[in-house]
Structure 1
Amino acid sequence: MESLTVFLLFGVITAFVSGVPLPPSDHQPFIIGGEDAAEGSAPYMVALVFGERVMFQLCGASLISRRLMLTAAHCLESFIADEGGLLDTLHSRVGSNQWNSGGTMVALKGYHMHPQWDSINIKYDAAVLVTKVPVHLTDRVALISMSYDFIEGNEAVLVSGWGRTGPRFDENVIHLRPTPDDKQVLYMDTLDYDKCQELMKIASNSRAPPVQRDVEICTFHSRGHGMCVGDSGSALVRLSTKQQIGIVSWGYGCAAGAPDVYVRILGVKDFLEFTIALYED
């Protein structure tokens, strides 16, 4: 068995081995995405899916206006046509706890990528999708407001999404599990910058990119709990205000003991305010 840690953006795996050897642990291996979200909860969540006759789950997004969905830039890279437009194989679903059924499918018209998006160092990993028509708001489909506060450590937060709910452990080797049908939710706390850097260096053996304090924020629950493939683009929400403070961006392995890293909403404020203003009624 090859001994290599999987480094991943939470939308796509950038390196792959069949398993990742890990030290012994007494955690429950079936929890990464937390628990099934209550029916109708997190009504701002959008499931990004792709395909034609058969659909596959890609990423999460959040509804920030009736025309705009906020997600991670790396989620869109494979769906940008040569001429710069958005491929029609990318779709979105709102108003459902399931990514593959229920709710309403919303057609997408275009996108805005953060002008400083750096795919090499995974910085400014933010993008906004534009819908063809305004989204109809209901008790199951709602907007989320964004906070431009600078958040540090020990802030209670939650993330909802449809990322993989593994890992499964087999003779001390980690294997990713399939994407869940039902939206998951995980409650945790933010980390201060120094602690995030420390934990990331230890977990990745100093291989991971540095965390950039002004544009990124970290969370950590415990080993065996955290984000995984398919959670990219989902909203990091502050419990005290119910506002979005981050976007799931990248991590080192899936809940393998490293922090999860998010785009800080404050760090992309200018981009968001400019883009939102383009579509104000």
Structure 2
Amino acid sequence: MLFPIGILSAFVTLVFCAYAEGAPLNEILSDALNATYGKRILGGSDARQGAFPWMASIHINSPYITSVCGGSIVNKQWIITAAHCFGENFQDCEVKAYIGKLIFPETPVGRKCELPIIHPQYNGTHTLNNDVALLKLKKPLKFTERVSSIELVPSWFNTDKPGEPTFADKTCSVLGWGSTGGDTKLSRKLQVLNVQIQPREKCISVTRNSWYPVKRGESKFCAQGVENGDTCKGDSGGPLFCRHNDGIFYLHGIISYGKIICGTKGKPGVYAKIKDLEEWAQNVMASC
């Protein structure tokens, strides 16, 4: 059974509630963040400092929802994340982004963002299709070795469909600050996990009987962690990225939802497909 974040947020009061389970994530965390909450990336390993300089942690506070999601820096003023992180009443929310952090949170200082720009065809928790949002930072970033951007995969690339160039049946990676095992404590260090992108028809088949099946024509794809590693609640909005033949990492997916029991064999996570959403994102960033 699959659940979007809008359902979970009514019951979870701690700040890490962004990845809808099944679902619709320097050294010290606060007592509240150390409290048990829920698992995020399972079976991952510690990320190296500076290896993934585009990773951001998005903190959302409003009268309706308090949550943390992942995000990816696209350029000096824009971050891309999941639309469902903001719930239904995002006009009243305050959003901050924590940038360049390996151990979370390294400092309590975030960068303020403007209100999210949600994809116009995102339909909330009805299907979770087009689950993408853009955040504009109020002040541009200064890029360093630890803070930089990731390229959006272009629309002509076949992320999960047959026909070269494609990453179907190939290995890519995901990032998040989640549990590293079966307990419910958050990981203090950013985790990285290898996942295999499933061919389109297999993704459609294995999600057919779920609450949110992947259908033909939708901007989604599936990826399964190696040895049942998986993303989980709290990882929403984070990146699925792949290294291309030119040696550059490209953002292919945004963590959206998955099985309620994270890491279930044969039940992949589902991701918003950047290749279908790249043109919209580029147009928004150019015009706002």
Shorter chain as denominator, the TM-score bin is: 0.7 to 0.9
Give the 3-state SS of the residue equivalent to 2:207 in structure 1: helix
Return the alpha-carbon distance in structure 2 between the equivalents of residues 8 and 155 of structure 1.
27
Q: 1:98 to 1:79 in 2, by over 3 A?
A: farther
Match of 1:220 in 2: 224
Quick one: percent identity of the two aligned structures? 25
Quick one: which amino acid aligns to residue 210 of structure 2? R
Shift of 1:273: 1.8
Match of 1:40 in 2: 50
Give the 3-state SS of the residue equivalent to 2:276 in structure 1: helix
Q: 1:213 to 1:44 in 2, by over 3 A?
A: farther
Quick one: which amino acid aligns to residue 111 of structure 1? P
Match of 1:256 in 2: 264
Give the 3-state SS of the residue equivalent to 2:258 in structure 1: strand
Match of 2:121 in 1: 116
TM-score where L is the length of structure 1: 0.77
Larger proportion of strand: 1
Return the alpha-carbon distance in structure 1 between the equivalents of residues 40 and 131 of structure 2.
28
Return the alpha-carbon distance in structure 1 between the equivalents of residues 252 and 270 of structure 2.
12
Q: What per-residue deviation string (whole Å, max 9, x for no partner) do you get for residues 230-262 of structure 1?
A: 111111101234111111111112112211111
TM-score where L is the length of structure 2: 0.76
Shift of 1:200: 2.9
Structure with greater Cα Rg: 1
**8 Å Cα contact 1:8-1:252 kept in structure 2:** no
Of 96, 99, 102, 1:94 maps to 99
Shift of 1:12: 4.2
Q: 1:98 to 1:213 in 2, by over 3 A?
A: farther
Q: What per-residue deviation string (whole Å, max 9, x for no partner) do you get for residues 121-174 of structure 1?
A: 111000001111101111000011111212121122111112344434xxxxxx
Q: 1:57 to 1:179 in 2, by over 3 A?
A: farther
Kindly indicate whether residue 195 of structure 2 is the aligned counterpart of residue 199 of structure 1. no
Match of 2:278 in 1: 269
Return the alpha-carbon distance in structure 1 between the equivalents of residues 276 and 197 of structure 2.
16
Contiguous gaps of at least 5 residues in structure 2: 6-16, 24-38, 161-167
Return the alpha-carbon distance in structure 2 between the equivalents of residues 264 and 123 of structure 1.
9
Shift of 1:64: 0.4
**8 Å Cα contact 1:31-1:165 kept in structure 2:** yes
Q: 1:116 to 1:230 in 2, by over 3 A?
A: same
Q: 1:96 to 1:37 in 2, by over 3 A?
A: same
Contiguous gaps of at least 5 residues in structure 1: 17-28, 169-176
Match of 1:138 in 2: 144
